[in-house]
Structure 1
Amino acid sequence: MIKKRIEDLTDLEYYVIKEQGTEPPFQNEYDNHFEKGIYVDKLSGKPLFTSQDKFQSHCGWPSFSKAINNDEIIELVDKSHGMLRTEVRSSESDAHLGHVFNDGPSELGGLRYCINSASIVFIPYEKLEELGYSEFIKLF
């Protein structure tokens, strides 16, 4: 399983994950990444999203229509920056992941999980078994 210790986070990762920050749009690792696999919480290694539920939203951050397991996601009211939004956090590590909006494609359920690349790690389909995620092969 992939896990990163808090003390090993980069400054940007720490800012996003622990200080509820946001990485720059269009300048992050997974915005235009569409390889087959899963995305896991950088701290706990818990699977959060699949490439099958990822779509191009042109918002500047990776966007997903749903989580693999809703029990791995916590949604909280976020009133920061003069807005009313729904923050998304990892239930296992309490890492700030991003926000969820109701403006996703209707054919995919209407949600858009807008997630910071700094909060997640991509596990390629070909490495799922090797890295301890073999139970998720069936999703593909």
Structure 2
Amino acid sequence: MGGDSDGPKVAITPQSTKVTSGTEVQEKLIVAARVFSDLLKPTFGPRGLDKMLYKTDGTTAVTNDGAKIVAELLVRHPAAKMMVSMAESQEEDCGDGVTTTMLLCGSLLIEANNLFRKGLHPLTLVDGYQSSLQTARLQIES
């Protein structure tokens, strides 16, 4: 059953494929999610700007609704897909607040990346975010 580890390696990706790991992957995911949240930044608030969307069927739409903008995007990047999923959950659960959610997530990721660069372990950051969530919930409930 192929326990021979001395044989030649089997390539499952093209040789031109660049494999990244560790903090480099982490940083790329954070940057992609931040770029996604930055897309909605100009639409935020009472003086938010509209975005013109060119749809795949050739039509256009103009909106400043974060949920509609996100719904029209064709995303492939894993971090962007996560952001789309978060936006869909926000829209489904609350019916509003997609842009705010995306901007908050982007800001949290900016800070997370700054802390990672200073050497903070990711699990320590997660613990801190969870602690902050509990504190926020207690404040809201009281």
Q: Report the TM range for the smaller structure's normalisation.
A: under 0.3
Normalising by structure 1, what TM-score?
0.24
Larger Rg: 2
Name whichever structure is richer in helix by fraction.
2
TM-score calculated relative to the size of structure 2: 0.24
The answer to which structure, 1 or 2, has the higher relative contact order (CA under 8 A, 6+ apart) is 1
Higher strand fraction (1 or 2)? 1
